[in-house]
Structure 1
Amino acid sequence: MAEDRITQTPHTTVIERRGSNAGLVIGLAVLVVVCIAAYFLFAGTSSEVSKNNAISSAAKSVESTADKAGAAIDKNN
């Protein structure tokens, strides 16, 4: 009778774990929020510049009118 030879080999199970890409989604959301905040910040800054330019223009107009009034008063004296 021949002897039966039984060889037991262990099986290795490989489990690959992958991330759910939540970090990528959160990173993109933060980037979008930063871009929107920067847009409104720069839009507000340009609004302030426009307002300052308008005030400067009005002040120059008042100065010009005052100079004309002063010249007219000097001319009549």
Structure 2
Amino acid sequence: MEPDRIETNPNGAPQTVIVERRGSGGGLLIGLAILLAVIVGAYFLLNNANNDNARTGAVTSAAKSVGDAADKAGDAVERATK
């Protein structure tokens, strides 16, 4: 931070001049943009995880159906051989 400047006014008395610096808000805009990017990224990651779970469930269901069909076929072959 810049120190205060001491100047003299026309009648010779010293006076302190305080210079205030204020930001333009650019940092706030960058922060909001980064926050928005994080939110969008998190949404896509969670959505991808849900899709993976749905695919896993579908494959599990299909495998169970194939297993049931194989059991039935095995039973039919067993009955046919008797």
TM-score, normalization by structure 2: 0.79
The structure whose Rg is larger is: 1
TM-score, normalization by structure 1: 0.84
% same residue: 45
1:1-77 equivalences in 2 (<5 Å): 8-77=12-81
What are structure 2's unaligned runs of at least 5 residues?
1-10
Report the aligned-residue RMSD. Answer: 1.2
What are structure 1's unaligned runs of at least 5 residues?
1-6
In the TM superposition, structure 1's runs of 4+ consecutive aligned residues that sit over 4 Å from their partners are none
Q: Which has the higher contact order (CA 8 A, sep 6+)?
A: 2
The structure where strand makes up a greater share of residues is 2
Distance 1:14 1:47 in 2: 60
